[in-house]
Amino acid sequence: MTTREAEWDDEGRAEVFAWLDYEDQQCPGCGGYLPDTTTHDYKTDVPHRCKRCDAIKRRQKEYSESPNPDALVIWPAEPKTS
């Protein structure tokens, strides 16, 4: 007879379920925690441009007419060297 140790103990399972519950309560738009973002008022400041996202979006436009562009999901980006 072989006895195997459980892959997850009670504490590990509780942590995973807590994390999944937290993820379920995140705003799909801003990523904020919905119990906070739906009860407090917010103000905004000027936006900040992520230069990495900017470079990736420019590159994605070059491939927009390629077959199945949604399948292109990995877009490496590195800082430019001087």
For 6-19, the pLDDT digits (tens) are: 788 999 999 999 99
In whole angstroms, give the CA distance from residue 30 to residue 51.
18
For 25-49, the pLDDT digits (tens) are: 999 999 999 999 999 899 999 999 9
* Residue 82 predicted with pLDDT over 80: no
C-beta separation of 77 from 52 below 8 A: yes
pTM: 0.50
